[in-house]
Structure 1
């Protein structure tokens, strides 16, 4: 009897151990590395293939505040979490309501977490990140851009996003600090929760060139658009708030219909690609605070154009590998951090009013039920099962070695343990409609 029980115990242990190994070794976005399209030219100068040997974005949730996302596309299979809607329409963010551009939000999502499938075979730069869609535009509900954007930022923060991409905008010309108070408050709350907010600088650099929020807001990493030769796109906004630049010319576009548009222009794409880059940085450096992430991004950017900061490309082209590899490319703790210096100055002027007290996020339950949360829980439960089985298996074995009771025909004492009691107007997309840096001697590093 004891030998039989021990054999069953060993069998259960083997099965449980296999379960744990399977869960812990599983890739959140699938076992295969997606292949990018040949025309996704930013993969080469950014050395994404080399970066993917270190991380593909696992463990990071990126929120996309936009027109919603068509989560049913094969290009996004398994990568999109249930999200939210701050336009008053009550969706979960997984439907794209942008008909004019065939899905602006879907296009941004594919640039970040594209899985390399579908008709297009389009791959995002952080395919193992999880995407949280928050619909803030193309609504038939509220027309208050500041309200829907601020609520969208708060929703993303409350649901575990560590990176927020906002490729929509509204006019900030008449706002204090070029940012409405509601949005400033939501940004301050996100920063308190260690979130990096990335936003498109704007697409009217050759026209009105007026400041647009949320890119213009203190605390936001504002991104301009460049081509593959590191030249500013003619329409990219020329503003003092522009921090860095990223690919935004001839950047392909996956529409919500599944159609692929090979040529796209806009700071929208530049912002989304940067947000994907931030996800890679945060995945490789899970203990690096948002302030340091942003500091390293601006400090390690490749200066282009005239020496120093300029209004079109900021401090230069983002270099993901440089920003990610802290030991290889050190940045002094007291190095300039312009995004947060401006944020801190704004907070000081406001007396901290735009950063209301808030309850920190819980350690779990904020990832929308996907990502690594569920596998870790399963693994922990499996470990508990192993402990219980081993403990009582050994206990049974020790009892089998004790002198037995006098033979009386009665069964042996039961060794089974007792179980315990159990702004006005809709925010508009930066897209234009659906060119960065050729590979150099350091492969984009």
Structure 2
């Protein structure tokens, strides 16, 4: 090899090394897109100072069960993986066909994993996480159980459900019995289920499924002042709270608008859990949920209330078990409540004579207030049992065919 050839070879080698370095994953401390000023929850959680130096969500997939996600927006470049379309099987979930809003699924996905590109510069709380869209028809027959299973089978470690149906006729625990196997499937596969608590706290205040189901982390909404948003549901199943009022949202056309709702609170909670899982990949879902309850910042007295649950999710504490240890014996009402619900469903199946009154998820979880009674069991003989069973079946069919509710402003 002559000198000229050797020189060219060295130059080429240097270029190749440079290209390789440029294509290495960026370390957590590298420059990241800055959130918009109206994304006030970044300051609330000190995300840029305390969280992003540790992780930005890499390696975690969050399923967004909704009306689809517009993956073509530059703000979501490389964020959305192929998903599942349970509405009409016409897409892989990466198209937002939600006609009832400017794009509920897209807004949710951007809050979780927006990359900061495009005209808006919108940044998600976990901008290196992946979004798995599971598209549902948000009216008519409910396919949430099927959607949960699909999300688990496609590798999601967090499932976001920012929607709800009127569950006031459901029994037991304000949750359709066919949800139980799907929730059990997710929990056994180490997946955290998150749902919006509902947006009718100032009106009918109906319990909202799937948030009302035991085993699901039900999220209420807080204002900038960290007070309960006036429309957040007042329900005994509420477990935790997150920012949800006066939030900026990116719609499916890439246009910014403002909104309020527990949907946003759920989305930001799902993103927070993605960050926690990314930083602590060996931490089981059960432990993450236990730490969320143990470290939450109460928003009033008593420590638990029916609008914000145990309080504001304390992200910097949950994510750092070294400096914020939580006893393995600490209460975990979410999982305890689901176990109780499973036992009740099994008892109802085994013995129709043991019929439960319509109780709340909180009653199953035994959250710490004494103002509400515990579940009552009633042994009803003869024809009364048949009547109760028929009423439960009618209520179930009403839910299955009824419209989706609770998607206000997101």
TM normalised by structure 1 equals 0.74
What SS does the aligned partner of 1:168 have?
A: coil
Offset at residue 19 of structure 1 (A): 10
**Distance across 2 between alignment mates of 1:153 and 1:84:** 11
User: Quick one: which of 191, 209, 214 aligns to 2:205?
Assistant: 209
1:207-229 CA-to-partner distances (Å, cap 9, x unmatched) read 11111111000100000001011
**Distance across 2 between alignment mates of 1:137 and 1:232:** 30
**Distance across 2 between alignment mates of 1:45 and 1:138:** 32
What residue ranges of structure 1 are gaps of 5+ in the alignment? 1-6, 355-422, 435-445
**Distance across 2 between alignment mates of 1:109 and 1:44:** 20
**2:89 is aligned with 1:89:** yes
Instruction: Show the counterpart of 1:242.
Output: 238
Pick closer, same or farther for the CA change 1:184–1:25 going to 2, 3 Å: same
What SS does the aligned partner of 2:247 have?
A: coil
Matches within 5 A, 1:1-400: 22=21, 25-27=24-26, 33-49=32-48, 50-138=50-138, 143-145=140-142, 148-175=143-170, 176-261=172-257, 263-351=258-346
The question of whether the paired residues in 1 share the 8 Å contact of 2:236 and 2:306 is answered with yes
Structure 1, 263-272 or 343-352: larger mean CA deviation: 343-352
Offset at residue 179 of structure 1 (A): 1.3
Bigger radius of gyration: 1
The number of equivalent residue pairs is 348
The question of whether the paired residues in 2 share the 8 Å contact of 1:299 and 1:335 is answered with yes
What SS does the aligned partner of 1:112 have?
A: helix
RMSD value, Cα: 2.6
**Distance across 2 between alignment mates of 1:53 and 1:83:** 30
**2:406 is aligned with 1:425:** no
Offset at residue 428 of structure 1 (A): 3.5
Pick closer, same or farther for the CA change 1:199–1:267 going to 2, 3 Å: same
TM normalised by structure 2 equals 0.80
What SS does the aligned partner of 1:63 have?
A: strand
**Distance across 2 between alignment mates of 1:321 and 1:171:** 34
What SS does the aligned partner of 1:164 have?
A: strand
**Distance across 2 between alignment mates of 1:101 and 1:79:** 22
Pick closer, same or farther for the CA change 1:258–1:327 going to 2, 3 Å: same
Pick closer, same or farther for the CA change 1:331–1:138 going to 2, 3 Å: same
The question of whether the paired residues in 1 share the 8 Å contact of 2:162 and 2:267 is answered with yes
Greater relative contact order (Cα 8 A, min sep 6): structure 1 or 2? 1
What SS does the aligned partner of 1:181 have?
A: coil
Task: State the 4+ residue runs in structure 1 displaced beyond 4 angstroms.
Answer: 17-24
The question of whether the paired residues in 2 share the 8 Å contact of 1:172 and 1:212 is answered with yes
Pick closer, same or farther for the CA change 1:178–1:28 going to 2, 3 Å: farther
What residue ranges of structure 2 are gaps of 5+ in the alignment? 1-5, 350-399
Offset at residue 33 of structure 1 (A): 1.4
Offset at residue 171 of structure 1 (A): 1.5
Offset at residue 352 of structure 1 (A): 9.7
The question of whether the paired residues in 2 share the 8 Å contact of 1:194 and 1:290 is answered with yes
The question of whether the paired residues in 2 share the 8 Å contact of 1:136 and 1:427 is answered with no
The question of whether the paired residues in 2 share the 8 Å contact of 1:79 and 1:129 is answered with yes
